[in-house]
């Protein structure tokens, strides 16, 4: 409640994180490389958006938080650059969650003093349990997380190749293949 939460990446996963953080009472800042996704981030609950291709997103987060930095950063973009940026955005006592895996695998450079002196908590999230699926379905059922607005394409099975191309070219958000 009342925290400044930055979500890096406004793809389907980032947009869901925006909704969840907003539901918990956070002020959400969305940082995204693709300008066309910023409007959807605002629609899903981001109070502020940063077009990371055109402005220094770390500097902008510091401006938006009166120099303090984010209380929490969720990295929903699978790049080492996003991970390093997320750590730089975090304020004292902040937490950074790496929610997206990187491909290709890479290494990030971290000055351990940043973690030490800022007292950061750095975590990763992967995997799920059947209970997590039940919880996710309830969040959708109760309208806390809206998935229809982030579904950009619903394609029949015989257009699955087109669906993969759409995702690879980042020309949509969530692509669903519908089997009759």
Phi, psi of 93 (to 5 degrees): 75, 10
pLDDT value for 61: 98
Sheet of strand 70-75: strand arrangement: 48-51, 27-32, 4-8, 70-75, 90-98, 121-124
| 13 dihedral zone (left: phi>0; alpha: psi -120 to 50; beta) | alpha
pLDDT value for 128: 85
Measured between alpha carbons, how far is 176 from 163 in angstroms, rounded to an integer?
Answer: 8
Q: What angle do CA 10, 144, 18 make, to 5 degrees?
A: 20
Q: Is the pTM of this model over 0.75?
A: yes
**Contact in structure between 59 and 69 (CB atoms under 8 Å):** no
Give the mean pLDDT of 23-29.
98
Phi, psi of 50 (to 5 degrees): -130, 125
Out of 19-23, 27-31, 103-107, pick the least confident.
103-107
Q: What would the pLDDT profile of 39-96 be if each residue is shown by its tens digit?
A: 999 999 999 999 999 999 999 999 999 999 999 999 999 999 999 999 999 999 999 9
CA atoms within 13 A on the CB side of 76: 21
- Nearest residue to 103 (alpha-carbon basis) of 79, 76, 127: 79
Q: Does the structure show a pLDDT above 90 at 98?
A: yes
pLDDT value for 126: 86
Measured between alpha carbons, how far is 45 from 27 in angstroms, rounded to an integer?
Answer: 9
pLDDT value for 127: 80
pLDDT value for 180: 84
Q: Does the structure show a pLDDT above 90 at 19?
A: yes
Q: What would the pLDDT profile of 100-157 be if each residue is shown by its tens digit?
A: 999 889 999 999 999 999 999 999 998 889 999 999 999 999 999 999 999 999 999 9
In order, the DSSP letters of 95-129 are: EEEE-S--SS-------HHHHHHHT-EEEE-----
Q: Which letter does DSSP use for residue 4 in this model?
A: E
Domains along the chain with CATH numbers: 4-124 (3.40.50.720), 151-180 (no CATH)
pLDDT value for 96: 98
């Amino acid at each position: 409640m009342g925290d400044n939460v930055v979500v890096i990446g406004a793809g389907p996963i980032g947009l869901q994180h925006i909704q969840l953080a907003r539901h918990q009472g956070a002020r959400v800042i969305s940082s995204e490389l693709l300008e066309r996704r910023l409007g959807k981030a605002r629609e899903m609950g981001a109070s502020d958006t940063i077009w990371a291709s055109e402005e220094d997103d770390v500097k902008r987060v510091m401006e938006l938080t009166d120099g303090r930095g984010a209380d929490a950063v969720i990295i929903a973009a699978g790049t080492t650059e996003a991970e390093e940026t997320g750590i730089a955005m975090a304020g004292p006592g902040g937490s950074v969650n790496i929610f997206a895996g990187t491909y290709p695998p890479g290494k990030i450079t971290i000055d351990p003093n940043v973690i030490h002196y800022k007292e950061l908590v750095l975590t990763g999230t992967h995997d799920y349990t059947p209970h997590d699926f039940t919880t996710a379905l309830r969040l959708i059922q109760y309208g806390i997380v809206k998935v229809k607005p982030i579904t950009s394409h619903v394609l029949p099975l015989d257009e699955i190749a087109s669906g993969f191309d759409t995702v690879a070219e980042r020309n949509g958000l969530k692509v669903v293949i519908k089997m009759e």
